[in-house]
Amino acid sequence: MAITKIPAAGFSDAVNFRNIIINGDMSQSQRGSSQASITSNGYYTADRMNIMNEIASAVFTVSQSTDVPSGQGFAKSMKFDCTTANASPSSGFLGVGQSIEGQNLQYLKKGTSNAESLTLSFWIKSNKTGTYVVELYDPDNNRTIAQSYTISSASTWEKKTLTYAGDTTGALDNDNNNSLRVNILFGAGTEYTSGTLQTSWGSRSNTRRAVGQVNLADSTSNELYITGIQLEAGTSASDFEFLPHDVNKRRCQRYYQQVVQNSYLAGARANNTSALWGIKFFTVTPLRAAPTIDAGTYQYYYGDAGNGAISSSVTATNVVTDDSGVTSRADSGFTGLEDNEPVIPVANSTIGYDSELWL
C-alpha cells in the first residue's frame, strides 16, 4: 500500500519533516518562558535553542514572546534584550544556534559529488539594523560556510532566506552526536571579523566566520525577536512546516525532559544517608543518550508514608540513568536519610534530564 503524506490543512505542502530544525517556531519551552542575567552559553528558554553569549561583560534576558509576524501562523518568538552592554568585544559569539545529529543528515550526501544544497529561512525583527551573519559549522570535519543578510527596517518583522551550496568534502558521521551546527549570529568579537567572510565551504578559519556582523550587545536599548527558523535541503525556501503540538513536544523531549510535581523517581528509597535509588520512566520518547541532571530542586518527604520532615529545597546531582529512564540514582543533595527509607517528592519538585547537543 502506498504511504501518503500527512495532510497539512491551510498549507501548500503536506507535512513530511522537511525542516531539519526542531522547535523553529519557539512553541516549546520546558525550562520556562524567561531567563535573565545570561552571561554564558546554555539552553535557557525555548527547547533545542542553544543561546550563545560569549561576549565578555554583555548581559541578556532571553524570553518566549508573543510578538510574531502578522498572518504567518506563529504564536511565539524568542526575544533577546540587552541589559548590560559591551560596545567593543574582542572575542566570542552572540546569538542562537542548534546542533543536529549526524544520523538525521545522511540524506544530504555531504562529502560526495551529489551533496545537497541547504536553504535556511526565518523571521526576524530588531531595532538594530545592519548586516548579520548565519554560519553552518561541520564539527566532524572542522568546516564552515557563512552567508550574510541585512535587517533594513528597524523594529519590523522581515523574512530572510539564505542558501548554502552542498559540500563535496567531508562526510558527516552517522551517529547521534553533533554533526552540523547552525549559528545565527547577533554579535561577534573582532577575532571572528578581521578577514573575508567564508561564503563557500572550507576549513574553519576564525577570522572569516562573522565578517561584517553588527553588535546587538552595543547598547541596552537593543532588542531582537526571531521565529520560524527552517533549514531544508534544496535551493529554495518552502512555507514553514508547522507540526502538531504533541509531535513537536516529543521531538524536543528526545533532548530534554523535565520531571515536574509528582512525576518522581518511582518507589524511591534511601540508599544511604545522602543518596537514593528509584525508577523514572520517561515519556514515550527515549532520550538521545544517557542524560545528565539539569539544575532543579527536588523537595522530598522521608520517613513514614511522607509524614516525616520536609527538607529544604535541594539540588539533586549526579543522577545516573540510561536513555529510557529505567534506573536513576541521585548520589548527593539528599541529607538526613536513613538506609532503605522511603522517599516521596513534594508537589512542584523538578528535575531536568538533559541529553542536549552542545557547541
Q: What is the pLDDT of residues 111-128, one digit of tens each?
A: 999 999 999 999 999 999
Q: Where are the domains of the chain?
A: 34-252, 254-359
Residue 163 CA from chain centroid, whole number: 22
Q: Label the pairing between strands 223-233 and 130-138.
A: unpaired
Q: For position 338, what pLDDT does the model report?
A: 63
Q: Which residue has the higher pLDDT, 314 or 214?
A: 214
Strand order in the sheet with 350-354: 256-260, 350-354, 292-294
pLDDT at 37 > cutoff 70: yes
Q: What is the pLDDT of residues 200-255, one digit of tens each?
A: 999 999 999 999 999 999 999 999 999 999 999 999 999 999 999 999 999 999 99
Q: For position 263, what pLDDT does the model report?
A: 45
* C-alpha cell recorded at residue 60: 541578556
Q: What is the fold of 34-252? A: Jelly Rolls (2.60.120)
Lowest mean pLDDT: which of 17-21, 54-58, 300-304?
A: 300-304
Residue with cell 518511582: 266
Contacting residues for 181 by C-beta, under 8 A, at least 6 apart: 97, 98, 99, 100, 136, 137, 138, 139, 359
Lowest mean pLDDT: which of 45-49, 67-71, 81-85, 344-348?
A: 344-348
Q: What is the pLDDT of residues 82-100, one digit of tens each?
A: 999 999 999 999 999 999 9
Q: For position 333, what pLDDT does the model report?
A: 55
Count how many Cα atoms sit within 13 Å of the Cα of residue 159 in the half-sphere of its side chain: 14
* C-alpha cell recorded at residue 309: 520532615
User: What residues does 181 pair with on adjacent strands?
Assistant: 99, 137
Q: For position 258, what pLDDT does the model report?
A: 81
Q: Which residue has the higher pLDDT, 359 or 8?
A: 359
User: What residues does 43 pair with on adjacent strands?
Assistant: 50
Q: What is the pLDDT of residues 149-174, one digit of tens each?
A: 999 999 999 999 999 999 999 999 99
User: Considering only CA atoms, which of 318, 352, 357, 355 is closest in space to residue 334?
Assistant: 318
Answer for the pair 46, 26: CB distance below 8 angstroms, yes or no: yes
Average pLDDT, the chain: 85
pLDDT at 303 > cutoff 60: no
Q: For position 308, what pLDDT does the model report?
A: 47
| Over residues 21-39, mean pLDDT | 96
Q: What is the pLDDT of residues 248-291, one digit of tens each?
A: 999 999 999 887 645 444 455 556 665 665 545 556 678 898 77
